[in-house]
Amino acid sequence: MSNGLDKEAVANLAMKWNLESIFPGGSASAEYNAFRDKLKADLAAAHKSFDDLPKELSSSSRDAYRTFILEFQRIASHVECAYSMADCLTAQDVKDSKALDIFQEMDVLVSEYNNLETRLEAFGKKQDDNEWAALIEDGELSRVRFYLDELRRNARNKMDEEFESFANELAVNGYHAWNRLYDKMAGDLKVDFVEDGKTTEISLGQLASKMDSPDRSIRQQAFEKLEGAWETRADYVTMILNSLGGFRLTLYKHRKWDSPLYEPLVMGRMKRETLDAMWRAVAKGVSKLVPYIEAKKKLLGMDKFMWYDQTAPVGKSDRTVSFADARKLIVKHLGGFSDEMAKFSDTAFEKRWIEAENRSDKAAGGFCTGFGPIKESRIFMTYLDTFGDLMTLAHELGHAYHHNVLREDPYFAGMYPMNLAETASIFNELLVTDAALSQAADQDEKLMLLDQKLSRAHVLFCNLHARFIFDSTFYAERKDGVIPRKRLEELMVQAQKEAFGDTLDSDGYYPLFWASKLHFFLTGIPFYNFPYTFGFLFAGGVYDRAKKEGAAFASKYRNLLHDTGSMTTEELGQKHLGVDLTKDGFWEAAVDRMLEDVEQFVELAR
């Protein structure tokens, strides 16, 4: 007993995050409401302040602009805080209508912030290079020089200020509204699931976890229920995807961007040559997964490998890992590399930064989000006592640790791109999996752990590549008009055939995958697929260096994470790993490294 609660109640409480310490009262919080009202007032005041600034940089106006930019940075961190709270509230309860209203309100606030950023961009690109350098070389702005130079450089490839502002405002009730509609639709979908003779209504988030079941009939039922659920919404989702794609392409045309990849590459601070080199290496390496898939089919007694078999467990699949045990394992294994990482993760559990409870009213998926000036993170997932859930938890704690490394830096110096954001999360996964492998009690457990590693590679090399190929072909065809549902399904199957090679059977594809995958509908991040594969392979390169150098690499690893907010992807690779990311060599070696366990898995499977 503890504080009048029994052990089960205490355990359940530990699996619920604490948002009260940020803004008490949930979506009805008076403090949160006041915070948003203050943010609106600050944005309005900042726009007024910008109106009153001199139109050109000079020695006499420099201090005024420094003050403005520092205030702009402060507002940016508060926008993140307000947005993250709305994100958490809607994720923890998809039926919270007040939270959904706040999310729509946040779209307006973000638009106001974007307009302020647009004004600063337009101002910056017109200024003399020497005057601009003088502005950002002194004082606090020197710590965010990389971000400010990037902002000015990107502005040169955008429309004039008035048109960019107009587009930001139109996006609130058009572009972003379609994204919100999709989120609401996905959150409301429920299915009746039959297990152990009982029928239960569950959410799509709960349904997704069934795809990891060792029982193939459960996986197949989960897949068919998922497909059936989205079948009822497919015509609407076709409209949403076409509307999002049309808006994006129209904007790109007026900005004179010749490729839909321009924006995600700019956001990723990476070159097209790097992306192409990575996918070439992945495509070349997929055939090496075939022996793994064939051995897995034999172990599972299957003659076909279907979509719903991608994450089917083998080995000691009946092993469960409680949330409390997951905490102990993660902290212990991270501590073998870095005391700081272990202590940080333990603190995240202790302070209840993690929402892991299994509830039907939660959103699907998982994420980690920061809260700007509060200097804390929150992790969202549904934990069901599987080893896969343990890895998801380790993954999200990696994101939180990355945030923590940058917590004392100015906000703009901590804004790292999505592809580099996956470095710490996947590093955590590799660290925990390998530590567990070294302590495996028997061959069954070792087989299960090897399967976890290779299954992850299969998903990131094949499933993610299929998403990238689909996005590419979708935008190529969307330029010529609306794409009907049937054609979207054809494009998805074509993408899966190309990406999966011989690892998926000919009748094992999932034509409606484009409808069920949230990432295709995110308006803030186009092509949200390659960052995962990039992070997987890049983190593998970092982890390989860590294995060679041991605990002595911990400080170097921390320094690498610290630099993710202040240099390009290629510069980071060159500085910290001594590699040229635009060349095939690094990526081919990274792919081989991630597949080096295939032979051992096949031997154990025999």
User: What are 188-217's pLDDT values in tens digits?
Assistant: 899 999 999 999 999 888 888 898 888 999
Report helix, strand or coil for 415: coil
Contacts of 45 (CB under 8 A, 6+ apart): none
Look-up of token digits 């070294």 = 438
Cα gap 349→30, rounded to integer Å: 27
Cα angle 81, 532, 238 (rounded to 5 degrees) comes to 80
Check: CB of residue 165 under 8 Å from CB of residue 115: yes
Beta bridge partners of 203: 190
Report helix, strand or coil for 113: helix
- Identify the sign of the CA torsion 257, 77, 33, 362: positive
pLDDT over threshold 90, residue 413:
yes
pLDDT over threshold 90, residue 101:
yes
Mean pLDDT of 567-574: 97
Per-residue confidence band for 1, with pLDDT thresholds at 50, 70 and 90: very low
pLDDT over threshold 70, residue 246:
yes
Cα gap 278→465, rounded to integer Å: 11
Contacts of 65 (CB under 8 A, 6+ apart): 53, 57, 135
CA 110 to chain centre: 19
Beta bridge partners of 354: 379
Return the pLDDT at 2: 45
Cα gap 141→412, rounded to integer Å: 10
Q: Among 23, 388, 473, 355, which residue's Cα sits nearest to residue 209? A: 388
Angle between helix axes 418-438 and 387-405 (nearest 10 degrees) is 130
- Identify the sign of the CA torsion 407, 409, 411, 416: negative
Q: Where are the alpha helices (DSSP H) in 307-417?
A: 323-335, 339-350, 387-405
Contacts of 32 (CB under 8 A, 6+ apart): 23, 25, 82, 85, 102
Cα gap 191→195, rounded to integer Å: 13
Pairing of strands 198-203, 190-195: antiparallel
Query: Residue 379 CB: number of other CB atoms within 10 A?
Result: 23
Look-up of token digits 């000036």 = 373
Pairing of strands 377-380, 198-203: unpaired
pLDDT over threshold 50, residue 262:
yes
Check: CB of residue 432 under 8 Å from CB of residue 333: yes
Cα gap 416→402, rounded to integer Å: 10
Return the pLDDT at 555: 95
The secondary element (H helix, E strand) that includes residue 531 is helix 530-549
Return the pLDDT at 364: 78
Determine phi and psi for 4, rounding to 5 degrees: 80, 5
Angle between helix axes 97-126 and 145-155 (nearest 10 degrees) is 80
Per-residue confidence band for 521, with pLDDT thresholds at 50, 70 and 90: very high
Residue 292 burial (CB < 10 Å; 0-12/13-18/19+)? Answer: buried
Contacts of 482 (CB under 8 A, 6+ apart): 242, 246
Contacts of 357 (CB under 8 A, 6+ apart): 12, 15, 16, 382, 383
Tokens read off for 245: 């794609």
pLDDT over threshold 70, residue 355:
yes
Q: Among 527, 602, 604, 537, which residue's Cα sits nearest to residue 569? A: 537
Q: Among 574, 548, 550, 552, which residue's Cα sits nearest to residue 563? A: 574
Q: What is the mean pLDDT of the chain?
A: 93
Q: Among 429, 358, 371, 404, which residue's Cα sits nearest to residue 562? A: 404
pLDDT over threshold 70, residue 454:
yes
Per-residue confidence band for 107, with pLDDT thresholds at 50, 70 and 90: confident
Check: CB of residue 363 under 8 Å from CB of residue 90: yes
The secondary element (H helix, E strand) that includes residue 126 is helix 97-126
Per-residue confidence band for 10, with pLDDT thresholds at 50, 70 and 90: low
pLDDT over threshold 90, residue 12:
no
Per-residue confidence band for 318, with pLDDT thresholds at 50, 70 and 90: low
pTM recorded for the entire structure: 0.89
Return the pLDDT at 241: 98
Tokens read off for 39: 């943010």
Residue 98 burial (CB < 10 Å; 0-12/13-18/19+)? Answer: middle
Report helix, strand or coil for 190: strand
Q: Among 191, 282, 280, 179, which residue's Cα sits nearest to residue 229? A: 191
Look-up of token digits 């915070």 = 35
Could you tell me what percent of the chain has a pLDDT over 70? 97
Mean pLDDT of 93-104: 92
Look-up of token digits 């007024």 = 48
411-430 CB burial, b ≥16 within 10 A, e <16: bbbbbbbbbbbbbbbbbbbb
In the chain the domains, ranked by start, together with CATH numbers, are 16-173 (1.20.140.70)
Cα gap 314→566, rounded to integer Å: 42
